[in-house]
């Protein structure tokens, strides 16, 4: 009896959404590029990463009739190639590495490029959110400022540690050793002063500690190595403070360019002033005025949104909220909503995605933490959610609400209209009564 033979197709045929698509596996030293079959004798080629190599990639893609390209967001290696390909008129998709995860089996750069090309040809890849040139420049400067601020904060902690190791208890008297009194005491120590009485002239009259406590706290065990560390960290602190001031000038200049590009015909507006208390890391320019001119609304009126938080959100999300279809899509991009997984009609999991929050998401979370003790409806909501699921649960839930408010304000150009706490609590109680009455009716029906 003759055996029946079966044939298997090597691949599943799918309708091509992008017939002129290419795929690129990005690397530090090698870029593997794949084009559709039949466009060249070698459909997959490897190129270097120098500027001349990138020019060769663009020329080869245009020669092969490619009009759209997909590449992984690998580190920062994709940026030069992305910019050059867009300059040559190619549509470039920057996709998440999770979407192009290779099939099991052997793995190399050429196979990865071929796999990306196949997925992109079938229209299975989505491009990541990418800012325009002006927003990219603003985002780079704001992120650099945040890095400088974090580095300066580390210097402050090291200065405090050096004082503690010499048993100089300045931080027990002063809330911030980088204030007027704290810096005066540190400068006196570095100039050679060791007598506790002579430090009294450095202490501001608003310090609440009495004279005897101040004298005790300034008697230390002066060690040479700790004095060196204190001086070195203090000089670093002063240097970083100067760099932050210069970075503020660059950010203000970029905000002016950003405003002139998106609103070239706008008339000059009056300077807006924020009613919120200034943060010690607040930029040196009038952040509220620039944000209102660029966004068209005063987003700093939202409870918990500070100057720095609003500036970081603007640099990360821009002014065009249409890139997210709804406020829910915006919250999902920020990872501030449950990642629902449903199978067979049942909810399997609803936990947040395990990924590091982007700067905009972190800014909304910080704003949520800032309102937890506030006497407003958002503070009441935070405390209610905290009683329900804990601090992390409340932070994410409140950040979701703040992000939704921000989205609607910017997209609809509506000013913030807060709800009165009494009216909010009354509305919540009415909704709870309706829920309990419905639940009671359901229980009665089950008992009957």
Q: Is the pLDDT confidence value at 247 over 90?
A: yes
Name beta bridge partners: 23.
34, 70
C-alpha 433/C-alpha 62 separation (Å) is: 66
Q: How many whole angstroms separate alpha carbon 382 and alpha carbon 371?
A: 8
Are 164 and 117 found together in one domain? no
Q: Give the integer Cα–Cα distance in Å for 416 and 65.
A: 50
Predicted confidence at residue 220, as pLDDT, reads 84
Least confident among 105-119, 216-230, 287-301, 309-323: 105-119
**pTM tops 0.95, yes or no:** no
Predicted local confidence at residue 326, as pLDDT: 93
| Same-domain pairing of 290 and 412 | yes
Residue 434 within any structural domain of the chain: no
**89-99, pLDDT tens digit by residue?**
999 999 988 77
Residue 379, SS3 per DSSP:
helix
- Give the CATH number, domain containing residue 30: 3.30.420.40
Domain contains 5: no
Residues 400 and 294 in one domain: yes
Whether residues 290 and 413 fall in one domain = yes
Question: Is 77 domain-assigned?
Answer: yes
The chain-wide mean pLDDT, for the chain, equals 87
* Domain termination residue (choose one: 67, 90, 121): 121
Please tell me whether residues 48 and 93 are part of one structural domain.
yes
Same domain, 159 and 227: yes
| pLDDT above 80: residue 224 | yes
The predicted structure's pLDDT at residue 2: 45
Give pLDDT tens digits for 407-442.
Answer: 999 999 999 988 888 888 888 899 999 999 999 999
Same domain for 171 and 227, yes or no, is yes
Give the residue, 8 or 421, on which the prediction is more confident: 421
Residue 9 pLDDT greater than 60, yes or no: no
Mean pLDDT along residues 216-229: 90
Residue 270 has pLDDT above 60, yes or no: no
In this predicted structure, what is the pLDDT of residue 169?
86
To which residue do tokens 């997925």 refer?
119
Q: What is the pLDDT of residue 277?
A: 66
22 pLDDT exceeds 90? yes
Domain boundary among the residues 97, 121, 145 is at 121
276 within a domain of the structure (yes/no): no
Per-residue confidence (pLDDT) for residue 8, from 0 to 100 = 44
Residue 1 has pLDDT above 60, yes or no: no
In a domain, 366, yes or no: yes
Query: Of the residues 213, 239, 257, which one is the last residue of a structural domain?
Result: 257
Q: 144 and 69, same structural domain?
A: no
Question: Does residue 271 lie within any of the structural domains?
Answer: no
C-alpha to C-alpha distance for 158 and 64, rounded to whole angstroms: 58
Structural domain contains residue 90:
yes
Distance CA 332, CA 93 (A): 20
Q: What's the number of CA atoms in the CB half-sphere (13 Å) around residue 389? A: 11
Domain co-membership, 111 together with 144: no
Mean pLDDT over residues 383-403, rounded?
A: 93
CA distance 309 to 361: 10
The rounded percent of the chain whose pLDDT value lies above 70 is 92
What is the span of the domain harbouring residue 138? 134-257
Predicted local confidence at residue 52, as pLDDT: 94
- Give the number of domains in the chain: 3
The answer to whether position 222 is within a domain reads yes
Encode pLDDT of 140-176 as tens digits.
999 999 999 999 999 999 999 999 999 988 888 888 8
């Amino acid at each position: 009896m003759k055996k029946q033979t079966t044939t298997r197709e090597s691949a599943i045929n799918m309708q091509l959404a992008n017939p002129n698509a290419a795929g690129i596996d990005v690397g530090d030293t090698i870029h593997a590029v794949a084009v559709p079959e039949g466009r060249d004798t070698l459909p997959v080629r490897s190129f270097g990463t120098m500027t001349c190599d990138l020019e060769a990639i663009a020329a080869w893609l245009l020669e092969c009739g490619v009009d759209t390209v997909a590449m992984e967001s690998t580190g920062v290696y994709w940026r030069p190639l992305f910019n050059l390909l867009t300059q040559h008129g190619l549509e470039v998709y920057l996709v998440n590495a999770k979407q192009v995860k290779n099939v099991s089996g052997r793995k190399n750069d050429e196979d990865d490029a071929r796999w990306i090309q196949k997925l992109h040809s079938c229209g299975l890849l989505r491009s990541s959110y990418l800012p325009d040139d002006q927003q990219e420049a603003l985002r780079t400067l704001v992120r650099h400022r945040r890095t400088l601020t974090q580095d300066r904060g580390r210097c402050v902690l090291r200065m405090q540690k050096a004082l503690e190791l010499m048993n100089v208890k300045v931080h027990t008297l002063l809330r911030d050793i980088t204030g007027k009194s704290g810096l005066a005491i540190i400068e006196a120590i570095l100039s050679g002063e060791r007598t506790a009485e002579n430090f009294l002239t450095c202490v501001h009259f608003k310090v609440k500690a009495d004279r005897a406590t101040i004298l005790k706290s300034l008697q230390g065990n002066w060690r040479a190595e700790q004095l060196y560390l204190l001086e070195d960290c203090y000089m670093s602190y002063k240097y970083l403070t100067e760099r932050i001031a210069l970075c503020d000038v660059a950010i203000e200049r970029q905000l002016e360019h950003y405003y002139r590009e998106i609103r070239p015909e706008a008339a000059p507006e009056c300077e807006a002033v924020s009613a919120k208390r200034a943060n010690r890391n607040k930029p040196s320019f009038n952040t509220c005025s620039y944000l209102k001119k660029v966004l068209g609304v005063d987003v700093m009126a939202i409870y918990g949104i500070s100057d720095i938080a609003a500036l970081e959100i603007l640099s990360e999300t821009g002014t065009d909220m249409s890139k997210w279809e709804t406020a829910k899509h915006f919250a999902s991009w920020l990872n501030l909503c449950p990642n629902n997984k449903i199978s067979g009609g049942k909810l399997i999991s609803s936990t947040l995605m395990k990924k590091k929050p982007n700067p905009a998401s972190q800014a909304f979370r910080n704003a949520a933490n800032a309102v937890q003790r506030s006497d407003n409806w958002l503070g009441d909501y935070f405390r209610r959610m905290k009683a329900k699921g804990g601090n992390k649960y409340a932070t994410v839930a409140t950040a979701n609400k703040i992000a939704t408010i921000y989205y609607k304000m910017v997209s609809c150009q509506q000013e913030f209209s807060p709800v009165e706490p009494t009216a909010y609590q009354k509305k919540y109680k009415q909704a709870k009564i309706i829920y309990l009455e419905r639940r009671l009716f359901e229980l009665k029906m089950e008992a009957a």
